[in-house]
């Protein structure tokens, strides 16, 4: 039996402990300073407050003030914070974690640099802590927290710099419903699954556009969704290449795009925009909802615009991303540039 300490008691941070608990490992779930209500609820009911699922045996619950106790004897630390908690984890948690301790991050996201480069969160952590040795690994791939908790079969990828370490971490979590591939292409894996947030917003515009015609709750128009999905995959693949990574990672990004379009916060904001609400109106309607898609779309578009300025990319290669950016950061209405998606293959 191994002891796994998860820092961050949100839905995915908690859910990733389910397969490991089922494998007989001890899971110590530590709330951030913002998670006190979740931890209190878990202690009282052994269920998760927001995921609304029972938490399996093998879990123990800790407030952040009890972090030292929760880390004692741990063999793996899991970062379960959202992308909005990355700075907190970097500044507060990383200095407290011994350098030899492996860390597995479930946070999907990326950071754009001034030259237009896109880097993963493990890479970003290293830039914030130069000279510090950290054994950073991360999770990518299509997996929703509530379906993981329900044992619905899924395929994910663990990535990192140490193959043997990855194989050991895999042995802790893999089970008959949680299937894990491994990769040393950290940037490729993480950027692929981060980009899906931006493009899921783009695909969801078609849902709102169909609601303009059919009414809310009416028939969805799948032709337009599929067209936007296909264009999203094309642009995501180009972005993965621009990051200097292998574009086979598009499999992870496309799978994650699929599950994100079918539910969650990103679908909501895209649908509202497609209905005709301005970005400010849509954000007001979703007041209090955390929208990582806005952050990722903004960072990605900003990086691409810098690459265009440097002659490393062409605007014509990213018409959907540019339109998404124009909507959320330029105040423009939804007007899908369908003709710009057209291509010619093998034509002389």
Same-domain status, 223 and 177: no
Same-domain status, 170 and 200: no
Domain edge (last residue) among 151, 184, 217:
184
Same-domain status, 263 and 287: yes
Same-domain status, 259 and 278: yes
Say if pTM beats, i.e. exceeds, 0.75: yes
> Is the residue at 189 inside a domain?
no
Taking all residues of the chain, what is their mean pLDDT, rounded to a whole number?
A: 95
Give the confidence band of 165 by pLDDT, cuts at 50, 70, 90.
very high
> Is the residue at 166 inside a domain?
yes
- Distance CA(239)–CA(313), nearest Å, equals 10
> Is the residue at 347 inside a domain?
no
Look at residue 289 and tell me whether its pLDDT is greater than 80: no
Mean pLDDT to the nearest integer, 148-166? 97
pLDDT digits (tens, 9 = 90+) for 213-263: 999 989 989 999 999 999 999 999 999 999 999 999 999 999 999 999 987
Same-domain status, 175 and 224: no
Same-domain status, 140 and 234: no
pLDDT digits (tens, 9 = 90+) for 249-282: 999 999 999 999 987 789 999 999 999 999 999 9
- Distance CA(282)–CA(286), nearest Å, equals 6
Same-domain status, 71 and 179: yes
- Give the pLDDT of residue 347: 87
Share of residues in the chain with pLDDT > 90 (%): 91
Look at residue 348 and tell me whether its pLDDT is greater than 80: no
> Is the residue at 30 inside a domain?
yes
Range of the domain at 52: 3-184
Domain edge (last residue) among 130, 164, 184:
184
Same-domain status, 98 and 241: no
DSSP codes, 165-223: HHHHHHHHH--SSEEEEEES-HHHHHHHHHHHHHHHHHHHHHHHHHHHHH-TTS---HH
What tokens does 297 get?
A: 């779309």
For position 116, which CATH number holds? 3.40.50.720
pLDDT digits (tens, 9 = 90+) for 315-329: 999 999 999 999 999
Same-domain status, 117 and 213: no
- Distance CA(61)–CA(27), nearest Å, equals 8
Domain edge (last residue) among 128, 151, 184:
184
Task: Count structural domains, the chain.
Answer: 2
Residue 159: CB partners within 8 Å, gap ≥ 6? Answer: 137, 138, 139, 140, 166, 182, 183, 184, 185, 186, 189, 190
Same-domain status, 153 and 216: no
Same-domain status, 111 and 151: yes
Which residues, listed in sequence order, are joined to residue 3 by a DSSP beta bridge? 26
> Is the residue at 346 inside a domain?
no
Same-domain status, 128 and 215: no
Give the confidence band of 292 by pLDDT, cuts at 50, 70, 90.
confident
């Amino acid at each position: 039996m191994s002891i796994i300490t998860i820092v961050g008691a949100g839905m995915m941070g908690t859910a990733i402990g389910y397969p490991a608990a089922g494998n007989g490992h001890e899971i110590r779930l530590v709330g951030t300073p913002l998670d006190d209500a979740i931890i209190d609820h878990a202690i009282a009911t052994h269920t998760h407050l927001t995921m609304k699922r029972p938490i399996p045996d093998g879990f123990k619950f800790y407030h952040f003030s009890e972090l030292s106790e929760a880390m004692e004897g741990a063999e793996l630390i899991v970062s379960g914070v959202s992308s909005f908690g990355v700075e907190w984890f970097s500044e507060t948690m990383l200095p407290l974690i011994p350098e030899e301790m492996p860390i597995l991050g479930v946070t999907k996201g990326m950071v754009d640099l001034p030259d237009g480069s896109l880097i993963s969160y493990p890479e970003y952590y290293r830039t914030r802590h130069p000279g510090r040795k950290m054994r950073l690994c991360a999770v990518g791939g299509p997996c929703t927290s509530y379906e993981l908790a329900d044992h619905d079969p899924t395929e994910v990828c663990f990535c990192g710099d140490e193959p043997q370490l990855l194989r050991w971490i895999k042995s802790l979590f893999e089970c008959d419903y949680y299937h894990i591939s491994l990769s040393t292409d950290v940037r490729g894996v993480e950027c692929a699954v981060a980009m899906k947030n931006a493009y899921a917003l783009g695909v969801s515009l078609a849902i709102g556009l169909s609601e303009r015609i059919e009414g809310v709750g009416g028939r969805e128009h799948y032709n337009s969704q599929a067209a936007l999905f296909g264009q999203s995959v094309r642009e995501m693949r180009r972005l993965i290449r621009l990051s200097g990574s292998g574009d086979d990672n598009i499999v992870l990004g496309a799978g994650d795009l699929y599950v994100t379009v079918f539910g969650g916060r990103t679908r909501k904001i895209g649908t509202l925009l497609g209905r005709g609400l301005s970005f400010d109106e849509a954000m007001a309607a979703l007041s209090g909802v955390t929208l990582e898609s806005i952050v990722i779309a903004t960072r990605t578009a900003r990086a691409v615009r810098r690459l265009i300025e440097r002659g490393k990319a062409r605007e014509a290669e990213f018409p959907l991303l540019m339109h998404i950016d124009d909507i959320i950061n330029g105040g423009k209405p939804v007007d899908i540039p369908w003709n710009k998606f057209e291509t010619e293959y093998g034509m002389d």
